[in-house]
A = this chain, B = another copy of it.
Amino acid sequence: MSSNAYTQLEKRFARMGALGEAAGMLHWDMAAVMPEGGHESRAEQLATINVIAHEMLTSAETGDLLALAGEAGLDDWQRANLAEMKRVHAHATALSPDLVEAATRAKAACEKTWREARPKGDFKLVLPKLQAVLDLAREGALAKAEKLGLTPYDALMDEFEPGARAADITPIFDDYAAFLPEFLGRVLEHQRAQGPAIQPQGPFSIESQKKLGEKLMAVIGFDFNHGRLDTSLHPFCGGTPDDVRITTRYNEDQFADAMMGVVHETGHAMYERGLPIAWRRQPVGQARGMALHESQSLIIEMQAGRSQAFCRFLSPLLNETYPGNEAAFAPDNLARFYTQVAPGFIRVSADEVTYPAHVILRYRLEQGLISGDLQLADLPGAWNEGMKKLLGLTVTNDREGCLQDIHWFDGAFGYFPCYSLGAMTAAQFFAAAVAAEPGIPDAIERGDFVPLMGWLRTHVHGRASSLPSPEIIRAATGQPLDAGIFRRHLQQRYLGTA
């Protein structure tokens, strides 16, 4: 009877999973190809799909089946699947269908206005719609906090990275904020002593950048029979594990951002593609949290993609694509070019040393927005003040300030810390992979990602959500998350010391 309940649950969750995949595709379409005039209808479609999935998840039948289903007769993965079902059910039952529907509509409307406000740098234009999104996010956070016995902000983070708690993260981030000023000063001094890297000269046509991106995707292992590369305002990895849609944005004056953006999103894509086929559309078959997801993009972009070994592979490819830049594309210069540290306004273009500062800024601000200590009208000012304090930069246009990222405008609060948790996890995975397979750097130098990807498939991708993140990290690396590995990686790469 209880294993029959489990079987029925699998069928129900498969339906929700298929609806989630459909919504994922529609979201890709909205960002990559949809004309502006399609927004209202698309909002109706997404709201309907989301509310149907939400009703299915929160229905009395699902609740009864979850209460009835026992672990007897289930194997490890089925037990983990049942636990995941219960976890997402707890999250979902905290929210009313009306709230879910209102939030979906508000987010779609806000995202649309953000697309207009961002190029204009006009925060006031989007403020009312962002207020609606924030109000609904706070309402949801309170409801979840009560249900899960967490603070409202922890309740929001828990949705993106199960188990993430501000009490654990704040000291790590405060440590980094304390470590950064002196370290950054030494790195900048070290760079000054080396002199500037030679800059490649453009223009770099969009067509050539797209071909280069696709070539690197193939090198990393991306299967174009199961995915695409397209263009959108904010690069992302979407779609489904069997049809991974990654996007980037191009600038003819420089190709590095788009190229490394593609390499980054390909890391996400490889995680999705590596999820176990047998558990498609089931909760246990999904990628673990967002921090673990980011670890997979950053292990490809930062650990592998900016290594000396990869620069030696990249050099002839770039010479072939953009002739006349031989000095800039010499491996040593490339490595310096790709590890240039320069405090800047834009998170997605930030180097790996200053990136955590961008995250810490958002982490602190969004805690204030959710608690109510920070009003939206004060957000640009608070942003600019934080940017000054963390990186010494003066923001003069909100386009380069609080309007730069889509996430808040799409209702994602509690998501940003995952980026830097991911960076730290990536450093730890890479060190463990190289310890287990010492040939990995040489393989990367040959453009062969199979050894690294093989290790990741076994130790991360293939485990999907069968274990909590801390257990995946411990099983893969033999120890819990140790932020010191990330700091040592930075010291080694940027100062040549460890």
Describe A's contact surface by its main secondary structure: helix
A 221-239 binary contact with B (CB < 8 Å = 1; else 0): 0011111100000000001
A223 contacts across to B, CB distance below 8 A? 37
> A33–B281 contact, CB under 8 A?
no
Pick from A39-47, A85-93, A308-316 the stretch touching chain B.
A39-47
Nearest-Cβ distance from residue A134 to partner chain B, whole angstroms: 26
A390 lies within 8 A of chain B by Cβ: no
> A22–B36 contact, CB under 8 A?
no
CA distance A19 to B53 in the complex (A): 12
Nearest-Cβ distance from residue A496 to partner chain B, whole angstroms: 43
A226 contacts across to B, CB distance below 8 A? 35, 37-38
> A19–B42 contact, CB under 8 A?
no
Given A26-B26, A35-B228, residue A243 in contact with residue B42 (CB < 8 A): yes
A18 lies within 8 A of chain B by Cβ: yes
Number of interface residues of A (CB under 8 A): 37
User: CB < 8 Å: which of B18, B26, B243 contacts A34?
Assistant: B243
> B35–A22 contact, CB under 8 A?
no
A52 lies within 8 A of chain B by Cβ: yes
> B26–A44 contact, CB under 8 A?
no
A240 lies within 8 A of chain B by Cβ: yes
> A48–B19 contact, CB under 8 A?
yes
Among A21, A36, A228, A281, the one with the most B-chain Cβ atoms within 10 Å of its Cβ is A21
A52 contacts across to B, CB distance below 8 A? 15, 19, 52
Nearest-Cβ distance from residue A53 to partner chain B, whole angstroms: 10
A280 lies within 8 A of chain B by Cβ: yes
13 A-B residue pairs with Cβ-Cβ distance under 8 Å, sorted by A, are A15-B52, A18-B47, A18-B48, A22-B22, A22-B45, A35-B227, A35-B243, A36-B225, A37-B242, A37-B243, A40-B242, A41-B241, A49-B49
Leading 9 A-B pairs by shortest Cβ distance: A38-B243, A18-B48, A37-B226, A37-B225, A41-B242, A22-B45, A18-B44, A18-B45, A21-B45
